[in-house]
């Protein structure tokens, strides 16, 4: 399961061969600022191993998924998002998913509407 893909942008970001602005790093996840932020705080939390998207997750990924959510909470605390934050996994074309390496969007610092656009 401990795989990376040489052609994958977020695998390259995790490896450090593509630069990023680090927000949080743990043994299993890496978090960095989105290059095109949709909110004052817009951070992407990714597993260090390559997983395509949330639809590829199974029971064996339970711990990883929890770690991604714990990372999001820590980031929210670091960023002072006391009013709350939004977590998003995009899956597939209709969602606008553009990078095929699992990433949790952590958005905050402004009010969001529901449903999203
Ligand atoms: P998706 O649309 O797949 O859910 O989200 C992909 C996100 O990755 C987008 O919000 C996009 O701005 C961000 N992104 C794409 N390329 C890069 C990059 O090279 N560096 C960083 N930091 N973010 C990126
Ligand atoms: Zn990857």
Alpha carbon nearest to ligand 1 atom 24, residue = 35
Which pLDDT score, from 0 to 100, does residue 115 have?
A: 96
Task: Note the pTM of the prediction, 2 decimals.
Answer: 0.98
Neighbouring residues of the ion ligand 2, judged by CB less than 5 Å: 5, 8, 10-11, 50, 101
pLDDT tens-digit readout, 25-64: 999 999 999 999 999 999 999 999 999 999 999 999 999 9
**32 touches ligand 1 (CB under 6 Å):** yes
Residue 39: nearest ligand to its CA?
1
Q: Name the phi and psi angles at 109, rounded to 5.
A: 95, 0
pLDDT at residue 76 greater than cutoff 90 = yes
pLDDT computed for residue 2 by the predictor: 56
Q: Structure tokens of 10?
A: 């977020």
Is 101 an active-site residue? no
Instruction: Express each pLDDT in 77-106 by its tens digit.
Output: 999 999 999 999 999 999 999 999 999 999
């Amino acid at each position: 399961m401990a795989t990376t893909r040489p052609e994958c942008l977020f695998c390259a970001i995790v490896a450090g061969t593509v630069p990023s602005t680090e927000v949080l790093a743990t043994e299993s996840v890496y978090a960095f600022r989105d290059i095109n932020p949709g909110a004052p705080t817009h951070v992407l939390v990714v597993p260090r191993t390559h997983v395509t998207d949330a639809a590829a997750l199974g029971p064996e990924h339970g711990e990883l998924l929890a770690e991604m959510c714990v990372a999001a909470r820590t980031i929210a605390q670091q960023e002072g998002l006391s009013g709350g934050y939004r977590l998003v996994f995009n899956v597939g074309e209709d969602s606008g998913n553009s990078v095929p390496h699992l990433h949790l969007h952590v958005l905050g610092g402004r009010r969001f509407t529901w449903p999203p656009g």
